[in-house]
Amino acid sequence: MNIKNKIINYMVEDVKNSMERFALKMKRDQEHTSRWVEKFKIRYENNLDTIIEKLLTKYYSEEYMEREHKIGVQPRDPFLWLLWEYAQTYCRECEDKKYFNEFTGGAFYVGSYVIQVMYGQGATLKLTSTKEE
């Protein structure tokens, strides 16, 4: 076997190993998220509106946004993304087009809110109250 074939075989094995490690990491991350979705369901399923209002109050407060910008990041909202995962698993899909726009990638009813993911140059979540109708 010449040196070229040895290098190619090494690179193929290296890429294969790298892909296997990546797939294992993705599997662990999904299992971790699933455990948190189950915890969220147990703790908040009967009190969704209250927890959503608390999350919105926190994540959209001037204090929180200012603190996040000071450390050089867009305001993070990890619990809203957990709520999105919960909605995908346990909630009814929203098909009412009045909650959609050209960037909407999906929407679900959660309590008396509609949560939607929007894709553009990244992804963001939007929560809209259905009580205001």
Tens digits of per-residue pLDDT, 104-113? 999 999 999 9
Rounded to the nearest 10 degrees, how much is the dihedral formed by the CA atoms of 115, 120, 124, 125? Answer: -10
pLDDT above 70 for 132: no
Distance CA 130, CA 91 (A): 15
0.75 exceeded by pTM: yes
pLDDT above 60 for 30: yes
